Amino acid sequence: MPDEIHKPPVGRFAPSPTGALHTGSLTTAVASWLMARSAGGRWLLRIDDLDAPRQVPGMADDIMRTLELYGLYWDGEVSRQSDNRGTYQHYFNELLTTGLVYPCGCSRRELALAASAPHPDDDCLPYPATCRGGMREGATVRSWRLRVPDEPVCFHDLHNGMVCQHLGDRCGDFAVRRGDGEITYQLAVVVDDHLTEVTQVVRGEDLLPSTPRQVYIQGLLGLALPAYCHIPLVAGPDGAKLSKRDNLVSHHLGSWRGKEGALLLGVLRFLGLNPPRGMAGAPCDEILRWGAGSFDVARLPAKGGELVVS
């Protein structure tokens, strides 16, 4: 039987329309684009728009125009999480058949008061399994939680190596659906990547702590595990992580207009590449083509830091 033909990778960038792209999110987009293109793969764009209250009107279009301004063109149609609600419910029902999902009546305030070691870095409040044996009488269902295993969940990260996390210690049984029926991010992102046949996920290392939850869900649903690569974060001058308000690169803001190529070269240097001096002043698409031919995960820096633009 002949060997299966090797398929080119499928990467993706999945911003939330809660604010304009900043230099950190642009760096993640570039890294994802380079990794996919360097192997002759496809690069998809998804708008993660499930969190409606936090969305900014017009921001999804702003993000798309900004990516185009920097030469980051995607393949195919833009997908949106809000279009997948019916499919999310299907996979939630699949999880129900495992017997590992149960209703929980605990409010976020109650969880915050009960948490002895909260983890604000990934918005995870460790769950003390209050409703594992059943909700208290008269309680309202506030979420549906997935029972976690009493053993580490492990996966190999292309930049960080083997990552293992004991979900019970880190977050406990975590929510996969809210009481109002909305599917949570952890389940939604797994289904999204499966639907679009994504095979590589490049994102910031701030999302690394939540990835084992997604790996656990993928295993329960029998879905393929993408290749993960969590890259170092771009930081501000004080070393702190950039916020949505810092170093914005929106296409309609003037701070980087006319300097897109210089910023893109700075991003490549941050990612461990050494673009030739002759590329100064080159258009973005030329800079990206050079980057795709030179990109190597092994060159990524061990730690993040400030992005320097010369």
| Structure confidence by residue, pLDDT tens digits, 19-45 | 999 999 999 999 999 999 999 999 999
- What is the helix (H) or strand (E) element at residue 204, kind and residue range? strand 200-204
pLDDT grade for 76, boundaries at 50, 70 and 90? very high
What is 10-83+195-206+225-306's CATH topology? Answer: Rossmann fold (3.40.50)
Contacts of 300 (CB under 8 A, 6+ apart): 31, 159, 231, 232, 271, 272
Output the pLDDT for position 118: 47
Q: What is the rounded average pLDDT for all residues in the chain?
A: 91
> In whole angstroms, what is the distance from residue 230 CA to residue 50 CA?
23
> In whole angstroms, what is the distance from residue 91 CA to residue 99 CA?
14
pLDDT of 108 higher than 90: no
Residue keyed to tokens 């993960």: 228
> In whole angstroms, what is the distance from residue 268 CA to residue 262 CA?
10
What is 85-188's CATH topology? Answer: Glutamyl-tRNA Synthetase; domain 3 (3.90.800)
Q: pLDDT (tens digit, 9 = 90+) per residue, 201-254?
A: 999 999 999 999 999 999 999 999 999 999 999 987 777 776 666 678 887 665
- Provide the 8-state DSSP code for 124: B
Would you list the domain boundaries of the chain? 10-83+195-206+225-306, 85-188
89 vs 138, residue with greater confidence: 89
Output the pLDDT for position 247: 79
Q: What angle do CA 86, 87, 89 make, to 5 degrees?
A: 70
